[in-house]
Amino acid sequence: MANISTKIAGIRLINPVLPAAGPNVRNSEAMLAAIAGGAGGIVSKTVSIRPANDPRPTIRKAVCSGLMNCETWSEIPVENFLDDLREVKSAGAPLIVSIGYRPEEVGELGALIAREIEPDGFEFSVHYVGHSVGPIVDVAKALRKVVEQPVFMKVSPNFLDIEKLAFSVAPYVDGFVAINSFGPVLDFDPENFAPKLGSGYGQGWLSGPPLLSIALRIVHQIASVTDKPIIGVGGIEKGIDAIKFFMAGASAVGICSAAIKKGHGIYGAVAEGIGKWLDDYGYGSVREIVGLYNSNLEKRRVFEKIPVNRVDIEKCVGCGACISKCLQGALYMNEETADVIPEKCIGCGYCVDFCPQGALDLVEQG
């Protein structure tokens, strides 16, 4: 049986699945429920100097099974939040406290929480710090100056030059969390023209499955410029989602939206899925697959000419699932199997994803 325990910046986790900072860990009750649900450790909801005052409603359904929210940080005053953190700390699970946002706020909070709680680590969010490297580095320096525990920076997907950001911040942090929610975005009810959220014009932040591919890309980018550990966050709902994050360079993963949709048991379910996948494919630990995608990029297929599709008639069962997927009309049923009109095929590869038998592939012309 595969070993799914892991270690990030010296913090030992019984499994690599954490809650990501958000309403799923808003207080001690929710954080303890996450532990009971199988989380390998806890990341708290982000707390700041002043409690948030978010306009309700704050969370609604969004496109592609995602969520849209206008929550900011914890609405619980710091002095009360400390009591919640003490209760969670006493439960024995590793605790990473998320704080924000500006240098002076992070410095004050970090010193206070380090003294009162002694958490296993800190996360700082840069959601409201801006899109320039300098101010974000200032936040990292402010927290690094006052705490001895590992420090993780949570990366915003809105930042354009991810490699520059990661390289610049790396000297002051022990790891990264990638990514935060994306936005602002907008959706509304077309029947009564009303916004879904209570924010200014109904805007919010997108999270969940729509972000998975963006998050994988950013994890890969960070891993390409630093060897600091990464906690991958964004759209994880199954074990195979987490496996992709590990292969892109993450050492652990965080879940928020799936916990809101499916409950606290999602952490244990994803951890179980990770272990099963590792067992099925003969891997002994999570560490064995971290960065596997990145280290195999040289194996990618590069065609000198536009490729054409090929149908393996030994595998094709004639289900016709691929036919309607070709906008160019290059696929057709030739008696009992699919076939290709080469001069119509543009080699896009889209049809390959819809063959349940794996009978389609791209080949070099000629």
DSSP secondary structure code for residue 353 in this structure: G
Measured distance CA(69)–CA(201) in Å, rounded: 13
Measured distance CA(333)–CA(235) in Å, rounded: 37
What would the pLDDT profile of 29-54 be if each residue is shown by its tens digit? Answer: 999 999 999 999 999 999 999 999 99
Nearest 5°: phi and psi at 59? Answer: -135, 130
Measured distance CA(101)–CA(50) in Å, rounded: 11
- Window from 121-125, 295-299, 352-356 with minimum mean pLDDT: 295-299
Nearest 5°: phi and psi at 38? Answer: 110, 10
E strands present in the chain: 6-8, 11-13, 17-19, 42-43, 59-61, 67-69, 95-99, 121-125, 151-155, 175-178, 182-185, 188-189, 194-195, 204-207, 230-233, 252-255, 308-311, 331-334, 337-340, 360-363
Q: pTM for the full model?
A: 0.95
Nearest partner of 198 among 78, 52, 19, judged by Cα: 52
Given pLDDT bands bounded at 50, 70 and 90, which one contains residue 238? very high
Measured distance CA(147)–CA(149) in Å, rounded: 6
- Whether 365 shows a pLDDT value over 80: the answer reads no
What would the pLDDT profile of 244-278 be if each residue is shown by its tens digit? Answer: 999 999 999 999 999 999 999 999 999 999 999 99
Residues 25, 43: contact at Cβ < 8 Å? yes
- Whether 130 shows a pLDDT value over 90: the answer reads no
pLDDT over 90 percentage in the chain:
92
363: number of Cβ within 10 Å: 11
Helices H / strands E in the chain, number of each: 10, 20
Q: What is the mean pLDDT of the chain?
A: 96
- Whether 170 shows a pLDDT value over 90: the answer reads yes
Given pLDDT bands bounded at 50, 70 and 90, which one contains residue 305? confident
Q: How many CA atoms lie within 13 A of 97 on its CB side?
A: 33
Measured distance CA(240)–CA(251) in Å, rounded: 14
pLDDT at 174: 98
Residues 75, 54: contact at Cβ < 8 Å? yes
Measured distance CA(232)–CA(65) in Å, rounded: 19
Measured distance CA(143)–CA(266) in Å, rounded: 32
Nearest partner of 203 among 190, 193, 188, judged by Cα: 188
302 versus 235: the higher-pLDDT residue is 235
Residues 357, 316: contact at Cβ < 8 Å? yes
Rg (CA), the chain: 23
Q: Which residues pair with 337 in a beta bridge?
A: 334
pLDDT at 64: 96
What would the pLDDT profile of 80-101 be if each residue is shown by its tens digit? Answer: 999 999 999 999 999 999 999 9
What would the pLDDT profile of 180-211 be if each residue is shown by its tens digit? Answer: 999 999 999 999 889 999 999 999 999 999 99
Measured distance CA(54)–CA(273) in Å, rounded: 35
Nearest partner of 338 among 364, 298, 365, 309, judged by Cα: 309
pLDDT at 366: 64
300 versus 276: the higher-pLDDT residue is 276
- Whether 337 shows a pLDDT value over 70: the answer reads yes
At CA 319, angle to CA 317 and CA 320, rounded to 5?
A: 125
- Whether 135 shows a pLDDT value over 70: the answer reads yes
Does residue 205 come out as left (phi exceeding 0), alpha (psi in the -120 to 50 range) or beta?
beta
- Whether 306 shows a pLDDT value over 90: the answer reads no
Measured distance CA(177)–CA(336) in Å, rounded: 51
pLDDT at 312: 95
Nearest partner of 208 among 287, 285, 262, judged by Cα: 262
- Window from 132-146, 210-224, 288-302 with minimum mean pLDDT: 288-302
DSSP secondary structure code for residue 328 in this structure: T
pLDDT at 5: 97
